[in-house]
Structure 1
């Protein structure tokens, strides 16, 4: 224990639901941004916040040799450390505490995901608040006419022509104009000050994001679209639960109008004076979603994701917390946005793996959305064309209401998957002759084609045709990907890059050839085959520049014949009305992976990318190239659709004792020395099995085993699996294991983490 602090053990953030607050607390239990799972005690000091000491206040405290921003969690009269040895806080930062709903959610998250509370609170705040910025939104000036200005004519200003023009401009905007808009019209501070001095205009400061009154026009900027029978039934079902916890799974085929159901549900929420939180899986989906919502509603629609500046993020966060933003749209981390008047939570593409954080605080935003809706007593709507097996199981058990949309908004049914056998057929850039012919016919008809390949780069690796050497990463158990733009070999796991070799390092042969196809190779091949047709490549490499993704989609939506080559970035929710043909270059990449969820995820991806075809007036076609066209699972998906495959996979999971019928936790160990990681994992497994053997609580400890990719970034990875039929028993075992590891001296040489409800075993 560090001298001067009292560290009170609170594994996983397990704290009292309502901390006691003495009348005159002398000791503050503070959560600081550290992986240590405990609070640290400090003296209050002479200065007291206006509202007194309360949980949720940010404070600046000394911690080791530095000062950090912490959050008060407990206010007490005593500490385990002598009062004289406690360090005082350096300063309090807020007059009022952070929102209660945010604090509750963070404490639940830390407890459930077995993570340090201090780090959970830190990661859940906007960056500027972590750094100690005041809890205030940015403001701006808004200028408008006074009563005298409304009654005054421009002629009274005489020869002050620019002042008269500014007065007329403001007369056209009854709500006034902000300073930036006035400056954009060519007016300066001199004209504003002159008119203000004459009492004709006035200025007031407002938050950058400010809630307008609906006025006589109401909340809608454009009328809602008519709903078909299935959409109307789904919306009516959601209306029944607007005043209570009401979890619903909106299971609609691609293009069935799920977004219109979201919009009309939000309209009902706003009409009640409440707020809606909408989660989307990827940053790439956020601009089009925000644009559509802003087009529909006359209220602030704020976005929260990593692509905006720190200042914009703080403004949006505070606007949501103060109730000035009725609609909040964001990616995974937006689940931690506080809401003054929560009314509904919507999770679009709820099956998407992007909702699971894969490092640090390993939370799942979809699951937290359900928990948060239950806490607030509000409806939660999970939407997808390919629901996760977990959500389908909840619907089958009656815990979620299952709402179905089986018809597309267009008159065409979703395109079926046509399996095309690759065996024994020559390929050009991964494409075989039937696929190339289909592309040619589609372009000749004046329509667009999407070529899907979930591998970026030119080729998965570089090979020597003489001796069989393969370019492999020195730091990972993985092959280097060949890139042409720029020419190099790159590891997509550790980001290591190296120049292309002139000859094979094993035999000296110069006969080095790309093996397989990636997005760059497919792009090059298509540009050669169809030189008159523009080719747009969309992957992580081609969209690094800000707005590059949206600019490419804007060009595509103009409707001219073109070719799109992309990874799964294109498969998620994008409306591409002129695409009538989808070609999947290789459907086998994820079918036979070691992860038990691989088949589920591959099927979801195939159905999602197939859903980009035929969304408007022309029917769609989907060609799926595969080396395993006779695979029974793939055949079932192609012939009977995702629902049939999901039902079979659920039964297989039930028989095998896998999620969603059992619960998992994964302990990961990594170290530069293989022996250290293996030894710690083995000792942890032995200790846990001893504990489980005494308690008989039905939790199994499996392993340790090497991770599917054992060596990554020059570190060795070992895993330990916990499996239990009861969630509560699994959490008890996981909490015990975390406490054991924190006490272990061996664990100081090994990086370890716990992943509750892991979505991947890699």
Structure 2
């Protein structure tokens, strides 16, 4: 009949695979259809991008009912079968339609069919790119670093490594020199390096470019302009980029010659996508390495319990870096200030103030860490008890004093600070608690001569502002740095000799069973910013932590820099409670205008199918039940074996999609927040 049939996946909910005609005109222009080709098709009344996954000579639908493929992105080589297989695995494991996995992984300008943008990107890439992997100025590795690098390079086939090294032990140097050796011996090979946060990419990119000035490097993260993202994605897809550096989205890029995957700070929760396809880039990276039969390196000073358990039972090979890379660097002394004895004034104990003053006198830097942005968590009226609750959420509105606003960190609602209490008219409203803005204000008052800088999500909203702020710290233009988790990892502050940790106690008694693991990792990471260089005779690098519970085992392990003991205790607790990594979970969330509607939907879902080997817990409201006028509830599923959970989820999801309900719902496999 002159027509072929192609199966095309689209970014649509429910079924995402549809049959289309491959017209004779396209056959003449582009040849036979190939799996992995990006095409333009009509869907309903829209023209959207699709991805060919197969072709055939027949369809289960009548040919006259099929629409033709409108256009093909013929300038771009088809995505490879291994990339398609990775998307299929992710779709099956995370229970999402294939189109919702594959299409969002492509650059927007490629999906949108912007021929001018695509031709412009390809034209730039057509220019010869240097690909010399010879490193410039690489320092000599110490014995532990060299042993780790040699082990990775000697690996044959799939080889997962956990590179466990104390902060400042030179994990980055192991990454770079291992990558250099691999690229030198494999002229076409590509290396993927993942970092957890966007603000870590500029420093890492600068290190790579300085080390390999002749090497083609590309970066991928969500803050890139669409034109740059398309160009970098194409460089990776065409094999021109020898190193691809980026955040979790980079894991889904096409890398036809991928030979090594490196995941820095592998424990970081940022590797788990929290909307749409809720995938773990770390876990999917391990699967991809197995698929390609290549090494994968997971690096951290505080590995996730899942990775640490794999290393303990031999699934991952453990590589240890016990000492800091620089002979002059020493792990800082960690002390806990008992706030019941040294009472804090405006958030600061006397001992911490004295320690900051000593650093100022020596021309050294101090870092004050508080993982709470804004000025104060809540504004209240002491006369009647009114508090600044969000009008749309079951959450408090945070006071942002410099902006003169109350802001909800859940729905982004902003209101002007009231002049008086909305309930009783009292004009004496009080700010309760402290955020980074308030800490900055107090420090400027106590130390007027000091140069104080705050780095958090509010102070770095503008593009490039975070990079500029960190550059000022590195150049010595800052005496006291105040920051959230943005400053806790990946930064090498040479003149920083004091870390003060404010108010960490709130995470000690969280309902989230992962809270202590996350807190310990966070504190170890931020503590590791101190003591990275020899600042001369008399200089002592220390970490001072203010707490009302100084005897808590978590703080004892922190003082001893003993991750291994702390991890062993947590794993024992998890094993006794049958919690991950000794069990496997999925979480079904439901959203509706009325909470009862969400709970009723979950209850209906609970009774849809028998669940052998799977325990389905009672539906409950989420901790923050209402966000932007939407009520939210959840239901947890647990199994002792991953296979039992997956065997149940596949038919259950089919049954769920068949329910007629106005409730919006979504499933997360291996949830991070329960």
Shorter-chain-normalised TM-score: which range? over 0.9
Please give the residue correspondences for 1:425-440 in structure 2 after superposition, counting only pairs within 5 Å.
Answer: 426-440=343-357
Indicate if the aligned counterparts of 1:137 and 1:318 stay in contact, CA closer than 8 A. Answer: no
Give the equivalent residue in structure 1 for 2:588: 667
Structure 1 spans left out of the alignment, 5+ residues: 1-22, 141-204
What is the distance in 2 between the residues matched to 1:452 and 1:345? 31
What is the distance in 2 between the residues matched to 1:257 and 1:535? 29
Give the equivalent residue in structure 1 for 2:204: 289
Please give the residue correspondences for 1:707-722 in structure 2 after superposition, counting only pairs within 5 Å.
Answer: 707-722=622-637
Give the equivalent residue in structure 2 for 1:185: none
What RMSD, in angstroms, separates the aligned Cα atoms of the two structures? 1.9
Alignment partner of 1:494 is 2:411: yes
Give the equivalent residue in structure 2 for 1:636: 557
Moved more, 701-710 or 325-334: 701-710
Alignment partner of 1:226 is 2:140: yes
What is the distance in 2 between the residues matched to 1:289 and 1:137? 30
Aligned residues: 662
Alignment partner of 1:262 is 2:175: yes
Q: Counterpart of 1:687 in 2: which secondary structure?
A: coil
What is the distance in 2 between the residues matched to 1:139 and 1:126? 12
Residues 164-196 of structure 1: CA distance to partner in whole angstroms, max 9, x if unpaired? xxxxxxxxxxxxxxxxxxxxxxxxxxxxxxxxx
Shift of 1:720: 1.2
Alignment partner of 1:59 is 2:27: no
What is the distance in 2 between the residues matched to 1:638 and 1:120? 44
TM-score by length of 1: 0.84
Give the equivalent residue in structure 2 for 1:726: 641
Shift of 1:424: 6.7
Give the equivalent residue in structure 2 for 1:409: 325
Indicate if the aligned counterparts of 2:163 and 2:319 stay in contact, CA closer than 8 A. Answer: yes
Indicate if the aligned counterparts of 1:286 and 1:330 stay in contact, CA closer than 8 A. Answer: yes
Indicate if the aligned counterparts of 1:25 and 1:76 stay in contact, CA closer than 8 A. Answer: no
Indicate if the aligned counterparts of 1:421 and 1:628 stay in contact, CA closer than 8 A. Answer: yes
Alignment partner of 1:558 is 2:475: yes
Alignment partner of 1:510 is 2:491: no
Shift of 1:51: 3.8
Moved more, 219-228 or 705-714: 219-228
Indicate if the aligned counterparts of 2:2 and 2:24 stay in contact, CA closer than 8 A. Answer: no
What is the distance in 1 between the residues matched to 2:130 and 2:363? 45
1:608–1:473 Cα change, 3 Å: same
What is the distance in 1 between the residues matched to 2:640 and 2:333? 38
1:356–1:337 Cα change, 3 Å: same
Shift of 1:630: 2.7
Q: Counterpart of 1:469 in 2: which secondary structure?
A: coil
Residues 464-496 of structure 1: CA distance to partner in whole angstroms, max 9, x if unpaired? 122332111121111110011211111001000
Moved more, 452-461 or 613-622: 613-622
What is the distance in 1 between the residues matched to 2:274 and 2:352? 36
Give the equivalent residue in structure 2 for 1:482: 399
Indicate if the aligned counterparts of 2:330 and 2:532 stay in contact, CA closer than 8 A. Answer: no
Alignment partner of 1:652 is 2:573: yes
TM-score by length of 2: 0.95
Alignment partner of 1:249 is 2:165: no
Alignment partner of 1:598 is 2:515: yes
Alignment partner of 1:118 is 2:99: yes
What is the distance in 1 between the residues matched to 2:121 and 2:648? 50
What is the distance in 2 between the residues matched to 1:213 and 1:550? 27
Q: Counterpart of 2:354 in 1: which secondary structure?
A: helix
From 591, 608, 611, the equivalent of 2:525 is 608
What is the distance in 2 between the residues matched to 1:420 and 1:705? 39
Residues 642-681 of structure 1: CA distance to partner in whole angstroms, max 9, x if unpaired? 2211110011111111111111111111111212211110
From 87, 99, 102, the equivalent of 2:83 is 102
Please give the residue correspondences for 1:10-409 in structure 2 after superposition, counting only pairs within 5 Å.
Answer: 26-49=4-27, 50-94=30-74, 96-134=77-115, 138=120, 207=125, 210-212=128-130, 214=132, 219-241=133-155, 243-271=156-184, 272-273=186-187, 274-297=189-212, 298-409=214-325
Give the equivalent residue in structure 2 for 1:700: 615
Q: Counterpart of 1:293 in 2: which secondary structure?
A: helix
Give the equivalent residue in structure 2 for 1:536: 453
Shift of 1:758: 0.8
Q: Counterpart of 1:669 in 2: which secondary structure?
A: strand
Indicate if the aligned counterparts of 1:321 and 1:339 stay in contact, CA closer than 8 A. Answer: yes
1:209–1:631 Cα change, 3 Å: farther
Give the equivalent residue in structure 2 for 1:460: 377
What is the distance in 2 between the residues matched to 1:390 and 1:25? 51
Shift of 1:55: 1.5
Shift of 1:139: 6.0
Indicate if the aligned counterparts of 1:429 and 1:521 stay in contact, CA closer than 8 A. Answer: no
Residues 281-332 of structure 1: CA distance to partner in whole angstroms, max 9, x if unpaired? 1110000100000111121111111122111111111111111111110011
What is the distance in 2 between the residues matched to 1:495 and 1:423? 37
What is the distance in 1 between the residues matched to 2:287 and 2:305? 18
Q: Counterpart of 1:589 in 2: which secondary structure?
A: helix
From 547, 551, 554, the equivalent of 2:464 is 547
What is the distance in 2 between the residues matched to 1:277 and 1:397? 26
Indicate if the aligned counterparts of 1:269 and 1:275 stay in contact, CA closer than 8 A. Answer: no
What is the distance in 1 between the residues matched to 2:553 and 2:262? 35
Indicate if the aligned counterparts of 2:21 and 2:69 stay in contact, CA closer than 8 A. Answer: yes
What is the distance in 2 between the residues matched to 1:573 and 1:719? 35
Residues 439-461 of structure 1: CA distance to partner in whole angstroms, max 9, x if unpaired? 11111111000000101110111
What is the distance in 1 between the residues matched to 2:15 and 2:623? 29
Shift of 1:430: 1.6
What is the distance in 1 between the residues matched to 2:128 and 2:322? 40
What is the distance in 1 between the residues matched to 2:233 and 2:82? 13
Shift of 1:561: 5.8
1:533–1:475 Cα change, 3 Å: same
Structure 2 spans left out of the alignment, 5+ residues: none
Indicate if the aligned counterparts of 2:617 and 2:635 stay in contact, CA closer than 8 A. Answer: yes
Give the equivalent residue in structure 2 for 1:196: none
